[in-house]
A and B are shown apart, each in its own frame.
Chain A
Amino acid sequence: MKIRENVVKIGLCSTALMAVAALFIVVAYVFFNGAGIINLNFLLESPYRFEYGGIFPQIIGSLCLVGICLFFAVPLGVASAIYLVEYAPDNIVTASVRFFVGCLAGIPSIVIGLFGLVFLVYRLGLGISMLSGGLTLGFMILPWTVRASEEAIKTVPHSYMEASLALGASKWQSIYGVILKSAYPGIITGILLGMGKAMGETAVVLLTAGSGLESFLPQSILDPVASLPVYIYMLATQGHTEASYSRAFGASLVLITMFLIISLFAMFLRNRYITRNSGF
């Protein structure tokens, strides 16, 4: 009986290890195949065809896209969250806003990409551009920003708000000076997670922002822009040579590293937030 229990336990343990192994195998494989090609030139030069040059425009393009995406999604998402938590009356309008924001989270990214293509690129005439791509990414992460900000604002104790109101501050002064000050690490964690999501997203950017192989830096927000995920996609599916595959691994490694830095930062903020709040 005891032996059987142990066998089952080992079996269960090995499934958990499989999940960990999947992570390590993927990351290690990308690392060993990509590390060799990364040097200063690779990071700071422009690409030339599939096999030559570096990925500088792709890195900058990805950062610009994420910047526009955050510029759109963060103010709108945080404002919506403040309204939903602090102001919203309990009526059908509020309920439907919550419902639709939930819906938006459930829409597959490719559908949001198609919407960006027809609405921003064609209907509004923004063309295949950094602005179209950034805004479409913004639509994609908006529900996550709203949800994360809502959670963060909800964790601020009621007594803070009451104390501030009792001291004569108006409602908005209390929200701005007290609630947001206490909730900001949580909000920033949510934003960083959304940022990671936007940075790795391929389908949306492929449809709305550019072909990924652009070898120039965008001069305006209406220019097409290269990005790391689309560059990897192009090299992987159309390169067909060792050199292009190894560049794709290099670009993957850069992308994973950027993502890792963002997640570590988010984790750091979350931990700081937890210790600070439990300190009271």
Chain B
Amino acid sequence: MEKMNIEWIIEKLLFISAISSSFIVFFIIIFMLHEGIPALAIGWDFFFGMDWSPSNNQFGIFPIVVSTFVVGIGALLTAAFVGIPAAVYLAEFSPRWVHSIVKPCVEMLVGIPSIVLGFFGLMVLIPLIRDSLGGWGECILAGWIILAIMTLPHVISISEDSIHAVPKAFKEASVALGATELQTIRKVILPNSRSGILASLILGMGNAIGETMAVLMVIGNPNIPWIPSSILEPVSVLTSVIVIGINYAVWGSMHQHALFAIGIVLFAIVAILNAITTAVIRKGVSR
């Protein structure tokens, strides 16, 4: 009987741990909403207002949202441009010894702390862009490159896995029909691993949009953001506005509420991207 009691208590304790782990999410949502609602309540002028100028009580985040997507999508395309061919090479052509060197290096890339990558960008990339292309140096292009380096490992790993997941028989059938290796990859392998590759890209974009420090250090963060017209212009993104603003915002002011509301918008965007990723993977599996 004694023993049964201990078993019962342990089971309940474990249950409570599991429940409290998931309650953290509730807490986060409730507190974020509580702090953000006064700014969200501004409505149209908050979401679609063109002016972000806290000192003049103007809290329009539209240019920031647009910049965030420009930076996120561009970073993703850059990562895809390098990552997908790299994944094809690693999955289909690379000799074993090359694979055993390249793969750990790619995994190590995840480990470089974002602050170090951002600092590298600030010291190397920005002078390089300033000297060769002109402008301030701190710009969208620099954000693309730094974020691409950060998302590359995810894109390569997941794409490689989904290329491996294509049944060998498909490839053999195609080669047996007389197709060359490259034709097989283009017409058989890539179409069949499409959903995995797509999922890796959307997930990568979620990571890129939620990333803070690395991007903050290279994109310039003008005080009054505008919708960029060239990739050499400095921009502010959602995450960088929060970090820079939180030091100046008086606690309880509309500025502070607006920063939390930006956090909610960010959370929502990333949640939607994650949901799309899950849906894409599920569709790929059912197919």
| Contact surface of A with B, Cβ cutoff 8 Å | 1, 4-5, 8-9, 11-13, 15-20, 22-24, 26-27, 29-30, 33, 75-77, 79-80, 82-84, 87-88, 93, 96-97, 99-101, 103-104, 106-112, 114-115, 117-119, 122-123, 139, 142-143, 146, 170-172, 196, 199-203, 206-207, 229, 232-233, 236-237, 245, 248-249, 252, 255-256, 259-260, 263
Contacts and interface: CB of A to CB of B under 8 A. Distances in A.
B111 interface: yes
B232 interface: no
Sorted nearest first, the 8 A-B pairs with minimum C-beta distance are A200-B113, A108-B210, A100-B22, A79-B17, A12-B89, A83-B14, A16-B86, A15-B85
A114 B86 contact: no
Given A20-B102, A110-B212, A256 B21 contact: no
Contacts of B90: 16
If over half of A's interface residues share one DSSP class (helix, strand or loop), that class is named, otherwise mixed; here it is: helix
A105 B149 CA distance: 21
A262 B86 CA distance: 27
Given A5-B181, A20-B105, A111-B32, A259 B120 contact: no
Contacts of B122: 236
A257 B212 CA distance: 22
A263 B115 contact: no
Given A170-B3, A172-B6, A252-B116, A111 B28 contact: yes
Contacts of B149: 22, 26
B213 interface: yes
21 contacts: A15-B89, A16-B89, A19-B102, A20-B105, A23-B109, A24-B105, A29-B120, A83-B15, A103-B271, A108-B210, A109-B210, A114-B35, A123-B31, A142-B21, A199-B113, A200-B111, A200-B113, A200-B115, A236-B217, A252-B116, A255-B113
Contacts of B35: 114, 118
| Chain B residues touching A, range | 35 or more
Given A5-B182, A19-B156, A12 B210 contact: no
Interface of B: 3, 6-7, 10-11, 13-15, 17-28, 31-32, 34-35, 82-83, 85-86, 88-90, 93-94, 98, 101-102, 105-106, 108-109, 111-120, 122-124, 149, 152-153, 156, 180-182, 206, 209-213, 217, 239, 242-243, 246, 251, 259-260, 263, 266-267, 270-271, 274
Contacts of B106: 19-20, 23
Contacts of A93: 19
Given A16-B102, A203-B239, A232-B115, A80 B18 contact: yes
B259 to A, nearest CB: 8
Contacts of B242: 110, 114
A83 to B, nearest CB: 4
A13 B263 contact: no
B237 to A, nearest CB: 11
If over half of B's interface residues share one DSSP class (helix, strand or loop), that class is named, otherwise mixed; here it is: helix
Contacts of B213: 202-203, 229, 233
B65 to A, nearest CB: 15
Contact of A100 (B10, B25, B117, B246): B25
B239 A110 contact: yes
B86 A202 contact: no
Nearest to A146: B21
Contacts of A200: 111-116
A13 B7 CA distance: 57
Given A79-B18, A96-B22, 11 more contacts: A16-B90, A19-B82, A20-B101, A22-B109, A108-B212, A111-B28, A114-B242, A114-B263, A115-B28, A237-B217, A259-B113
Contacts of B120: 26, 29-30
Nearest to B123: A245
Interface hub of A20, A29, A248 (most chain B Cβ within 10 A): A20
